[in-house]
Structure 1
Amino acid sequence: MKLEHIHSVYFIGIGGIGMSALARWFHANGFAVTGYDKTSTVLTEKLIDEGIAIHFEDNVHLIPEKVKLEKTGALIIYTPAVPKDLGEYQFFVENGYELYKRSQVLGLLTESKYTIAVAGTHGKTTTSSMIAHLLKSAGVDCSAFVGGIMTNYDSNLLIGINNDVMVVEADEFDRSFLTLHPDVAIITATDADHLDIYGSKDSLKDSFNAFIKNIKANGKLFIEEKVAHELELNPNGNIGVETYGLNGGSITADHLNIAAGKFTFEYKSEKRNITGFELVMPGFHNVSNALAALASVSESVESDGALVKGLNSYQGVKRRFEYIINAEDLVFIDDYAHHPEEIKALLESVKALYPNKKITAIFQPHLFTRTRDFVDGFAESLSLADEVILLDIYPARELPIQGVTAEIIREKMTLKNVTMYIKDDVLAYFDKQTPEVLLTVGAGNIDTLVSPIKHLLEKK
């Protein structure tokens, strides 16, 4: 694929967070961009407002004529989440188009650039957005493809003037990150996940080992210290490896404290000690993410002051420890956490921030397979809350599995203050209850409850 030969870019599944960032990039660089998605969302409406034509009916007749008539110059990008019997997908396959996954295109866009890639079963979005903001704040020209909406920029994409430095999420789902060959790589976590794709934790680890082998010669790997012993850190013998973490590693946080809702700390490595960090986006896990982000840009940004200014002005990512209400008598946080380890990290941080308040979590499980595979972990992590409201499983791309419901989580929880709701009925909970600290948690469509809940709470 040569960009200079492309006249049109067509997206099948344009509304996904990663696909929409790629669509924005092509649109901003002067390509004719169009696409299909199953449903209209806030993301697709923003793309339409920016001038990208999108339709929501699986209809070959709605594909632009130029894409159909001049296929040699049409780039067709699809998401693996799209069903293979989709009419538009079948049209392109049957008519001999070469279809590309988003990850393949991202690999092509970054292959000639200095690339910082963030991998891990959780923490990717926060860490990659931190890196992008640190570089931009310090005046380093960069582009960034992020799997969430960066609060500082209200976008999942940053476009540099020269695009010489690229910051990307390296997504392990469907082994997508193996299309990347970064100069600098970060691995935040390798907890078992996507077992519907990998089958086992060992298979997942094999994929991360293959990702490490893709790091360019003389490149660098920054890896969370608890993960380091699980992987082959320098199989080719030609990269530099450093570990980071809150409880060990060559890069760590000194004098970590919580003050006025902020996590304050000092960055400490063998080469550099920097004081004065105040992380507005709370969470012990986010301090760890910040260590990785700071390490990855430490050679590009020489000024300690620029790094402190950058991190202290970082406002986070939508749905990652996002404060919806932050008042003395009521706190409402929305978070994308959908894996037991993510929920554990979220609740431990919230309990540290609000040790004397009752914590109520509304959780929507995501995927039948993930619920089945990690039911014990979900039960254990959710039991850290004082009260839990369990919603029905959000199926996403999956069909139901017999015997797998949210009820199997409740049955294994040690916490007894647990109630079950279907999503459409959960607002009734607030007729008689006013929580002290409320969390909405999950990766499905639980985010559509945020505005209605906020409205109800503000009326009280």
Structure 2
Amino acid sequence: MNLSSIHNIYFVGIGGIGMSALARYFKANDKQVAGYDKTQTDITNSLEELGVAVHFEDAIENIGDAFLDKRTTLVVYTPAVPRDHKELEYFNGHGFVVLKRSQVLGIITQNTFCLAVAGTHGKTTTTSILGHLMFESNVALTAFLGGVSENYNSNLIIKGTEVSVVEADEFDRSFLTLSPDIACITSMDADHLDIYGVADALNESFAAFAKKIKPNGKLFVKRGLPLQGITYGIEDDSDYSVQNIKIKNGAYVFDVKTPKTILKDLEFNLPGRHNLSNALIALAMAVEYGCPYQQLAKALASYKGVKRRFTYHIKTKDMVFIDDYAHHPEEINAVHQAVREMYPDKRVLAIFQPHLYTRTRDFVNEFAKSLSQFDEVMLLDIYPARELPIEGVTSEWLMGKINCTNKQMVSKAELLEKIHESKAQVMLTIGAGDIGEQVKYIKKEFSVTE
């Protein structure tokens, strides 16, 4: 498909993090952009500030006349939108070109030098670090992020169109639309079993992604994964390896061994070994692309993170409040490791909202084990997203399996009151649902004004 002949881009589900990055991209490239979403959010507000028309009622008359010309309009949708959506049914029934977000991303990136980040964990942070490193190295790039970068306050980093940096999402096998020049796979833990059925099918999908790399391209794999490629790891003999790790003033200081040299005394400000691994692979990909070491070291030290990835909202000697998007047991384990490393003598409260009935069902024992590591646990009801309830799959069921003496179910209405009763000095909000909407209320309630 030739995007140059398309003047209007209409998004069904424009408020999604990946969809909104595409909307920003097309708006920056002088296309007329509009779309529908279910609810108004900070993301839809920011799109409207850019001049993107967004509405929140599923009605054909809201589409707008300019977007009803199928010769000049491309329709982009997310699989999260139900099949009986009226606007989507209209476009499908009237001969419009209707593509998934992943297909459009594949079209955009096919004529660029593409760097893609795959894996069940770490995609967003790694992509964000890589985009920042290359932006600061004056590469003419566009980076599509699955989260809002703290450095750019956006999920799109744009400095040109010669190079693209993208998340390669395994959900719905979306990453198979990409043909990257350089790619990495950060992890292959079982997830999205509502799509794949069994873990082996997910692994086969990653193997298929590895084969999508262009001739003479490069694949990086975290050491221990069952795929061939350039290896990376922490304190091991991988091709790229972090060595001599120290913590100074709350930041990591370390060396990186590459196949050709050793980079000394690099600095990185995000806590957690998982983030150190993310920084390593982003650095390795930028090195293989050809970015100069000196600029990479400076850029790494200036990286601020992604919103809702171990994001500090309160940080005083008496109270620490951190918010994180973790929604898989391995991600919760990573958050726990980071918080214990930073605050080894503090009492820690985890407030968790499970995301999806299927994920809760498939990993209930693993969730229970990861949550049992905290001193206190509060559970919200499961966030359903696109799913209908499954009989017997509830937060109460998960609660019964958690081995923690101080645990309780809470509603959003009573959350602030229950936090006041806690004896924790460090509190975490964790989950991929709408628990992030509670952050502003918690921050306001517990922030101390001088």
| TM-score, normalising length: structure 2 | 0.97
Q: Where does residue 83 of structure 1 map in the other structure?
A: 82
Give the deviation of 1:423 after TM superposition: 2.3
Q: State whether residues 6 and 75 of structure 1, in contact with CA within 8 Å, keep that contact through their aligned partners in structure 2.
A: yes
Q: Where does residue 58 of structure 1 map in the other structure?
A: 58
Q: State whether residues 235 and 243 of structure 2, in contact with CA within 8 Å, keep that contact through their aligned partners in structure 1.
A: no
Give the deviation of 1:438 after TM superposition: 0.8
Give the deviation of 1:247 after TM superposition: 4.7
Aligned amino acid, residue 28 of structure 1:
A
Give the deviation of 1:433 after TM superposition: 3.3
For the residues of structure 2 that align with 1:409 and 1:348, how far apart are their CA atoms? Answer: 21
Give the deviation of 1:303 after TM superposition: 3.0
Give the deviation of 1:431 after TM superposition: 3.5
Q: Where does residue 220 of structure 1 map in the other structure?
A: 218
Give the deviation of 1:425 after TM superposition: 1.9
Alignment of 1:106-121 (within 5 A): 106-121=105-120
For the residues of structure 2 that align with 1:423 and 1:302, how far apart are their CA atoms? Answer: 47
Q: State whether residues 283 and 346 of structure 1, in contact with CA within 8 Å, keep that contact through their aligned partners in structure 2.
A: yes
Q: Where does residue 236 of structure 1 map in the other structure?
A: none
Give the deviation of 1:430 after TM superposition: 3.0
Cα 1:95–1:431 change in 2 (3 A) is same
For the residues of structure 2 that align with 1:348 and 1:389, how far apart are their CA atoms? Answer: 19
For the residues of structure 1 that align with 2:231 and 2:7, how far apart are their CA atoms? Answer: 44
For the residues of structure 1 that align with 2:291 and 2:361, how far apart are their CA atoms? Answer: 47
For the residues of structure 2 that align with 1:407 and 1:268, how far apart are their CA atoms? Answer: 47
Aligned amino acid, residue 206 of structure 1:
E
Q: Where does residue 38 of structure 2 map in the other structure?
A: 38
Give the deviation of 1:355 after TM superposition: 0.6
Alignment of 1:356-435 (within 5 A): 356-433=345-422, 435=424
Q: Where does residue 230 of structure 2 map in the other structure?
A: 242
Q: Where does residue 188 of structure 2 map in the other structure?
A: 190
Q: Secondary structure at the match of 2:159?
A: coil
Q: Secondary structure at the match of 1:333?
A: strand
Q: Where does residue 8 of structure 2 map in the other structure?
A: 8
| TM-score, normalising length: structure 1 | 0.95
For the residues of structure 2 that align with 1:434 and 1:108, how far apart are their CA atoms? Answer: 52
Aligned amino acid, residue 243 of structure 1:
T
Deviation digits for residues 342-394 of structure 1 (CA, Å, limit 9, x no counterpart)? 00011011101111111111001000000000001101111111111111101
Q: Where does residue 258 of structure 2 map in the other structure?
A: 269
Q: Where does residue 237 of structure 1 map in the other structure?
A: none
Deviation digits for residues 45-90 of structure 1 (CA, Å, limit 9, x no counterpart)? 000011000110000011121222x212110000000000011011
Aligned amino acid, residue 433 of structure 1:
S
Cα 1:434–1:458 change in 2 (3 A) is farther
Deviation digits for residues 288-319 of structure 1 (CA, Å, limit 9, x no counterpart)? 01110011010344532211101000000000
Q: State whether residues 430 and 456 of structure 1, in contact with CA within 8 Å, keep that contact through their aligned partners in structure 2.
A: no
For the residues of structure 1 that align with 2:404 and 2:357, how far apart are their CA atoms? Answer: 22
After superposition, the CA RMSD in angstroms is 1.2
Q: State whether residues 149 and 305 of structure 2, in contact with CA within 8 Å, keep that contact through their aligned partners in structure 1.
A: yes
Cα 1:332–1:319 change in 2 (3 A) is same
Q: Are 1:447 and 2:432 an aligned pair? A: no
Q: Are 1:172 and 2:170 an aligned pair? A: yes
Give the deviation of 1:278 after TM superposition: 1.9
Give the deviation of 1:120 after TM superposition: 0.5
Q: Where does residue 339 of structure 1 map in the other structure?
A: 328
For the residues of structure 1 that align with 2:305 and 2:420, how far apart are their CA atoms? Answer: 32
For the residues of structure 1 that align with 2:252 and 2:290, how far apart are their CA atoms? Answer: 22
Q: Are 1:148 and 2:137 an aligned pair? A: no
Q: 1:299 aligns with which of 288, 291, 296?
A: 288
Give the deviation of 1:258 after TM superposition: 2.3
For the residues of structure 1 that align with 2:350 and 2:371, how far apart are their CA atoms? Answer: 8
For the residues of structure 2 that align with 1:299 and 1:94, how far apart are their CA atoms? Answer: 46
For the residues of structure 2 that align with 1:424 and 1:451, how far apart are their CA atoms? Answer: 14
Q: Where does residue 132 of structure 2 map in the other structure?
A: 133
Q: State whether residues 137 and 291 of structure 2, in contact with CA within 8 Å, keep that contact through their aligned partners in structure 1.
A: no
Deviation digits for residues 187-234 of structure 1 (CA, Å, limit 9, x no counterpart)? 00110000000001000011101100100010001111122x2x3x3x
For the residues of structure 1 that align with 2:18 and 2:143, how far apart are their CA atoms? Answer: 11
Give the deviation of 1:411 after TM superposition: 1.5
Q: State whether residues 263 and 283 of structure 1, in contact with CA within 8 Å, keep that contact through their aligned partners in structure 2.
A: no
* Unaligned ranges ≥5, structure 2: none
Give the deviation of 1:270 after TM superposition: 1.9
Aligned amino acid, residue 98 of structure 1:
V
Aligned amino acid, residue 191 of structure 1:
D
* Unaligned ranges ≥5, structure 1: 234-240
Aligned amino acid, residue 250 of structure 2:
G
Q: Secondary structure at the match of 2:288?
A: coil
Alignment of 1:308-347 (within 5 A): 308-347=297-336
Give the deviation of 1:10 after TM superposition: 0.4
